Amino acid sequence: MPADSVEDALFAEHLVRGELDAAAAVLLRTYGSEVYRFLLNKVRDAAMADDAYSRFAESVWLSLEGFERRSSPRVWAYAIALNAARQEARAGRRRDARFLAWTTSAACGAAAHARTQTVEYLRTQNRERIDELRDELPDADRELLLLRVREGFSWDHIAELLGDTGAAGKQDRAKESARLRKRFQLIKDRLREAAIARGIVPPKDEG
């Protein structure tokens, strides 16, 4: 769920002062746990999720100077997380002088704390059968479902994250949102049909 606006305000205050490490630490403390949970659900492999999360957190730390506030901090963080997951799927991370600097930063500590909290929480949860159905979806469909249902993004923000709109105006963004909503409904219909077939939920006409 979105963080309290106080945290975003503190993040913005650090940015204005040029305190990039402190700003990154605030952002990762605020959104790190939910981003890590999202990555675990997206890649479905604990080791790859760890690597993608490390890549995400380091990228946040390295990219803050270029943050132009066109997106909210949360949307910006998820855009970096999606890119990190896709990069991790293609190649391993590269360790260089910047990586060594990252490991000693306050932001790195905040990222590690968020990951630890998330792992401890997830270990107490049992996967439900409906999650197994979701995991069988194609990656793009699962990604859309996670962003909308688990992370609660608005359709405009999902269009910003997933849509091929670039710098398009509001009208094009609205069309992309409508397209994604329609695709989302089709995904839900397929999931329900699969759940009925496996006896997880009863058919609609039963009762």
Q: Mean of the pLDDT values across residues 128-145?
A: 83
Number of other CB atoms surrounding residue 112 within 10 Å = 16
Distance of alpha carbon 1 from alpha carbon 65, whole angstroms = 26
- CATH number for the domain spanning 180: value is 1.10.10
Query: Which of 23-32, 103-112, 165-174 is the least confident region?
Result: 165-174
DSSP 8-state code for residue 126? P
125, 143, 159 - which closes a domain? 125
Q: Same structural domain for residues 113 and 150?
A: no
Q: Same structural domain for residues 71 and 29?
A: yes
Please give the helix or strand (H or E) that residue 136 lies within, else none: none
Query: Which of 14-23, 25-34, 119-128 is the least confident region?
Result: 119-128
Q: Mean of the pLDDT values across residues 165-194?
A: 82
Q: Same structural domain for residues 76 and 90?
A: yes
Q: Same structural domain for residues 72 and 14?
A: yes
Q: Same structural domain for residues 106 and 133?
A: no
Q: Same structural domain for residues 150 and 195?
A: yes
Number of domains in the chain: 2
Token code pair at residue 102: 């990252």
125, 142, 159 - which closes a domain? 125
pTM: 0.67
Q: Same structural domain for residues 115 and 13?
A: yes
Distance of alpha carbon 180 from alpha carbon 175, whole angstroms = 9
Please give the helix or strand (H or E) that residue 85 lies within, else none: helix 73-90
119: nearest Cα among 6, 62, 203, 36 = 36
Q: Which domain holds residue 96?
A: 1-125
Check residue 41 and give its pLDDT.
Answer: 86
In the predicted structure, residue 126 carries a pLDDT above the cut 80: no
